[in-house]
């Protein structure tokens, strides 16, 4: 599981930062990529990475401001041109379906794959399968804006091969069945329960990605105990009044949440273009780090591996 930042700027593109888009690479877990937001020129950013558009399985849109959605039509068309045939699902606020379908219709874009668009109706469980759950919750922004909590389900522990060898169980189909927690009857009539030969479960990882928001309590439920919290930091600490006026957060707002929610790593993104250069970024980083030590400020193409604790 790896997070790949394709765009880390706020509002408009800048030389150092494109507008918002984050890729969650799940190539080992499910051989796919999930996108969170798709600002203008996201597909251009992808060209500088190893990400294949046909591998993008889901796109989660936090809100409908242009710097988070204007890249969707181009990416959908390119995915089709580049051989993408597998289904794609897009989740987003009310209105995302109208935006996408009108763009496709008016541009006469033909998709060679099945496109499903799910509009968020309420907080709670948005998606679940055998490996992941995705929860959504509304934040505090000028228009409906959401945060997402991606929860990897716990994995079964390692099969304790040495214990099986001591019992004379040879590698083969029985190992697989025991690994699945099934009952296996040996030739001598002994019945083994796979659950007795598994180590501790591997704890699933949690990644929380928040859309644009002012400091609000609804963020906590999404962020609690996350391995990685990705939070906007449009403004510096001294611009707190501007952040509140424009429904955004500061570096310190994000850091306070990370500390309160007991997250492992905080990554700041959605940085205003007013903060240019290494010195400005160092200041942003230090402001947050004073509150929460394990803080990073993302740049375009920054990659972060989500490790198990």
Structural domains counted in the chain: 2
Interval 135-172: pLDDT, tens: 999 999 999 999 999 999 998 888 888 888 888 888 88
Structure tokens at 46: 């992808």
The number of residues in the chain equals 309
- The tens digit of pLDDT for each residue in 178-220 reads 888 889 888 888 888 888 888 888 899 999 999 999 999 999 9
Beta-carbon-side half-sphere exposure of residue 80 (alpha carbons within 13 Å):
13
Rounded to whole angstroms, the Cα distance separating 40 from 70 reads: 5
164 DSSP 8-state letter: H
pLDDT at 174 over 90: no
Q: Are 34 and 3 in contact (CB under 8 A)?
A: no
Q: Clarify whether residues 187 and 206 are in a common domain.
A: no
> Can you point out the beta strands (E) in 55-107?
56-60, 88-92
Q: Which of 142, 175, 197 is the last residue of a domain?
A: 197
Q: Is position 227 annotated as part of the catalytic site?
A: no
Q: Which helix (H) or strand (E) holds 220?
A: helix 218-223
133 and 242 in a single domain? The answer is yes
State the pLDDT at residue 164. 86
Distance CA 176, CA 38 (A): 41
Q: Do 126 and 61 share a structural domain?
A: yes
Domain that holds residue 226: 2-155+202-305
261 in the same domain as 188 = no
Of 67, 212, 239, 253, the active-site residue reads 67
What is the strand order of the sheet 88-92 is part of? Answer: 115-119, 88-92, 56-60, 32-36, 21-26, 2-7, 303-305
| pLDDT at residue 41 in the model | 97
This prediction has a pTM of 0.91
């Amino acid at each position: 599981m790896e997070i790949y930042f394709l765009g880390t700027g706020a509002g408009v593109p800048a030389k150092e930062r494109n507008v918002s888009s984050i890729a969650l690479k799940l190539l080992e877990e499910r051989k796919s990529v999930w996108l969170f937001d798709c600002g203008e020129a996201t597909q251009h950013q992808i060209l500088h990475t190893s990400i294949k558009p046909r591998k993008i399985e889901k796109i989660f849109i936090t809100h409908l401001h242009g710097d988070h959605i204007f890249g969707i039509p181009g990416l959908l068309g390119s995915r089709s041109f580049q051989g993408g045939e597998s289904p794609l699902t897009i989740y987003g606020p009310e209105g995302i379906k109208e935006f996408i379908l009108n763009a496709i219709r008016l541009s006469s874009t033909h998709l060679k794959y099945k496109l499903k668009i799910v509009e968020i109706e309420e907080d709670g469980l948005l998606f679940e399968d055998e490996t992941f759950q995705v929860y959504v919750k509304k934040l505090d922004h000028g228009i409906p804006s959401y945060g997402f909590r991606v929860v990897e389900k716990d994995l079964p522990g390692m099969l304790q091969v040495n214990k099986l060898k001591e019992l004379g169980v040879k590698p083969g189909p029985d190992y697989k069945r025991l690994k699945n927690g099934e009952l296996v009857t040996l030739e001598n009539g002994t019945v083994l329960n796979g659950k007795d030969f598994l180590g501790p479960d591997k704890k699933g990882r949690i990644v929380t990605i928040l859309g644009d928001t002012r400091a609000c309590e609804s963020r906590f439920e999404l962020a609690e105990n996350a391995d990685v919290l990705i939070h906007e930091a449009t403004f510096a600490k001294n611009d707190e009044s501007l952040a509140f006026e424009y429904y955004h957060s500061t570096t310190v707002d994000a850091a306070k949440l990370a500390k309160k929610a007991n997250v492992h790593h905080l990554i700041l993104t959605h940085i205003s273009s007013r903060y240019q250069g290494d010195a400005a970024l160092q200041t942003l980083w230090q402001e947050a780090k004073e509150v929460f030590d394990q803080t990073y400020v993302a740049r375009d193409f920054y990659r972060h591996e989500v490790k198990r604790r």
